[in-house]
Structure 1
């Protein structure tokens, strides 16, 4: 039976659009491609042990031996997998919208057919762009017989291509990438409750946002007026809200959201920053005894981010990928400060329950998290 959500977004169109628009990857012979897949798998297995040593998380034990939830994929494979992930993640919200707005799911009507196809094509185009830029991804929302707690995907063509662009040792680069992604796998293994916690928050936020679609045009007009007044009262340059310290476009999003939406978004921002920052701290703990050319890789990878084409910069802004980069930095400062102040063992209690997760305010003031948890700085 077709779910109402499947009548709002045509997932087949999303999948086929992504497959059609995916940029071609590096040219490798079948034998070379097979070797690369095997080498990436080996790097993924090796990375877990280093993550275990650096973090001290017991959940990492044995993960390097069990590789059934680790997939080495190409760009179309990554796009197809993420189409299914979005389908699962958005289904509760879209079903709720369909219940409130049955006209959207009048199966066979021109509005339903064209609307769902347009939504599918838009999603497919986004996934096609991302597929050429993603090195790896842990998907906690995937569940199957062999991967009940999520799966790790490593995009082999992108690892090959970016290593070549950076002119770095490919073997070292593989391991460096896998260290970050395996850290995410270990995080969710250490906090098995985190998957459902995030799913619930995302579903609630999506249902709230999509459920108010009818009033969106008027809310945009009101938001723009409010933002214009704000900017008229303050001297703002470079589209930056000097008072709040956030880009003006984010202030616009805040006005569009309800207080409840903003609270959930704030929580999700803090959690995602924690996850990304923690993974970066693990990567920074790696020295040349593990990845011999790690300093060169770090320097050239950071420089690569400054040399994007104008088109890529525009697309990244539209998809708010720069926000994700900021999450890496904010989360990394939070984790680094706490580990330095109270040690890794006490920091690891952050994975014990949802109550231990930081708020967005604590993310920028880590000492308040330390105080709330009742810890004192190590002597």
Structure 2
């Protein structure tokens, strides 16, 4: 990434240091128990692979009649580990946008000074947001993970992260069987890994859309910094939207919305449809596999849905809105409804035609109206 006066738009090292310093510690777990949890999560990740493949039927068989195992790594991490992994991913994906913003800033009087100060400020603000997110993510398939010791350069696949302290925290909060809950979470994340390893073009398609979105960005650096500062102020007890009568969480704009041009809105519509498909498919699969391998899946799903719907306090709601997390929750719901409707109508094999090419992915309208996707892709065969 280019820099002005040796300063980047974001001080990434400071972001990591800030997040790891501020992130709340996880639940109390003894050393032996922690080792057992890590071992169990790794084992569940392995067993979930077989369950997901059998249920989704997304993989063909090799010459010996069996599907080849995934070659993507599984990492069980703590909250600081999740922060470090995501900062590396953000840095790789956001490079085009930040370079563009940096070029614009270089033309301003005193741009070098602004760069030195702004990078530090943005690093702190980003770190504060990551400390918030690090307590909420249970698992994640890193589609765009940068090269590392466990993911050599040239590897097109990503890696699977399981955030052990968050999984333990939620299973205790919901008061559900911990072994069942851990496998249930692994089924969801394994579905994401299967989506990207079974559909070779999917990663490149998403990357192309994201780069197109960033290339269209036309936003003043100060505007984006203002949004990051607003989120950071919420984290430290400053005023959040809706707390002083000057606005509401519903009226505030997310960090994604603030950088939208007309072209970006079109791209974002396609990205939203794809993410709804991926998240909804994962939810559908984790519950579909569940009854056979997770005895208490009904109780887990009911309590987990109640937790999602309940949300948290006004501060948490304001941050979720600003970060676009409310949209992600809608993606789970809308996408799962789309998958369920299509599978009910044309079966799993019929649904799997969605993975044929970018042209068979559902549009944002079709996510809400799955019958339209069936008519477009299956024609009379879907009737």
TM over 0.5: yes
RMSD: 2.9
Alignment partners' CA distance in 2, 1:215 and 1:22: 26
Trace 1:81-100 onto structure 2 (pairs within 5 A): 81-100=85-104
Unmatched runs of 5 consecutive residues or more in structure 2: 62-66, 228-246
Segment of structure 1 superposing worse, 77-86 or 313-322:
313-322
- Separation in structure 2 between the aligned mates of residue 371 and residue 128 of structure 1, nearest angstrom: 45
Flag the 1:105–1:36 CA change in 2: closer, same or farther, 3 A.
Answer: farther
- Of 65, 71, 76, 1:72 maps to 76
Report the equivalent of 2:238.
Answer: none
Report 1:86-235 matches (<5 A).
86-103=90-107, 109-144=112-147, 146-147=150-151, 148=155, 149-209=157-217, 211-213=218-220
Which residue number in structure 2 is paired with residue 338 of structure 1?
342
Aligned pair in 2 of structure 1 residues 214, 23: CA closer, same or farther (>3 Å)?
Answer: closer
Q: 1:141 to 1:31 in 2, by over 3 A?
A: same
1:185-334 alignment to 2 at 5 Å? 185-209=193-217, 211-213=218-220, 257-305=260-308, 306=310, 308-334=312-338
| Consecutive unaligned residues in structure 1, runs of 5 or more | 221-237, 241-246
- Please state how far the C-alpha of 1:206 moved relative to its aligned partner: 2.4
State the distance in 2 between where 1:99 and 1:350 align: 40
TM-score by length of 1: 0.84
CA contact (8 A) 1:18 1:79 kept: yes
**In the alignment, what sits opposite 1:232?**
none
Residues 135, 159 of structure 1: 8 Å contact kept: yes
Give the paired residue count.
349
CA distance in 2, matches of 1:281, 1:354: 21
- Superposed CA deviations along residues 22-65 of structure 1, whole A, max 9, x for unmatched, are 1001122222111110010001111111111211111693336x
CA–CA separation in structure 1 for the residues paired with 2:253 and 2:375: 30
Identify the residue that residue 16 of structure 1 maps to in structure 2. Answer: 17
